[in-house]
Amino acid sequence: MDELTPDQIQELTGLLKGLRAELTDALESSRTIRKPVDLGLPIGRLSRMDAIQQQHMAKACAAAQEQRIHQITAALAAVSAGTYGYCRRCEEPVGYQRLRAKPETPFCLRCQTLAEKR
């Protein structure tokens, strides 16, 4: 695979920053859903169970969003360091198309596939 051009790096950096902003906004907007369910509220048992389930799902979604934000932050640091676009495992170029699909990915497709098989 070919190394990224400066224009591609600039485009992908914009994507990373946009994704980080979207995820940060989503985390902020879901903050109230993730709050503990008030057990003193006069609602039925099923409504309370539904609220607790929604809270657990919102927390799981928030954890995934926080993980992705961490990966995006690492990718932006790699841009600054001049190492963005290279696999962290084999140090080969990741490829523009893969980074277009998931700009925060730290691994090439081959290394990602090997890691998932383990």
The tens digit of pLDDT for each residue in 2-22 reads 899 999 999 999 999 999 999
Its domain, for residue 49, covers 6-84
Main-chain dihedrals φ then ψ at residue 115, nearest 5 degrees:
-65, -35
Count the helix, strand and coil residues of the chain and give each as a percent rounded to the nearest 5: 65, 0, 35
End-to-end CA distance of the chain: 25
Q: Is residue 77 part of a domain?
A: yes
Q: What is the mean pLDDT of residues 96-114?
A: 95
- 29 falls in which pLDDT band (50, 70, 90)? confident
Q: Is residue 34 part of a domain?
A: yes
Predicted local confidence at residue 112, as pLDDT: 94
Number of domains comprising the chain: 1
The residue with greater pLDDT, 43 or 98, is: 98
Which residue, among 26, 45, 43, has the nearest Cα to 34 in the 3D structure? 26
Q: Is residue 52 part of a domain?
A: yes
Q: Is residue 97 part of a domain?
A: no
Q: What value does the mean pLDDT of the chain take?
A: 89
Which residue, among 21, 98, 20, 27, has the nearest Cα to 111 in the 3D structure? 98
Using left for φ > 0, alpha for ψ between -120 and 50, and beta otherwise, residue 110 falls in: alpha
pTM of the full predicted structure? 0.80
Q: Is residue 72 part of a domain?
A: yes
Q: What does the alpha-carbon distance between residue 25 and residue 63 come to, in Å, rounded to a whole number?
A: 14
Q: Is residue 26 part of a domain?
A: yes
- 118 falls in which pLDDT band (50, 70, 90)? confident
pLDDT per position as a tens digit, 40-89: 667 776 777 777 788 888 888 989 999 999 999 999 999 999 999 999 99
CB 103, CB 69: distance < 8 Å: no
Q: Is residue 80 part of a domain?
A: yes
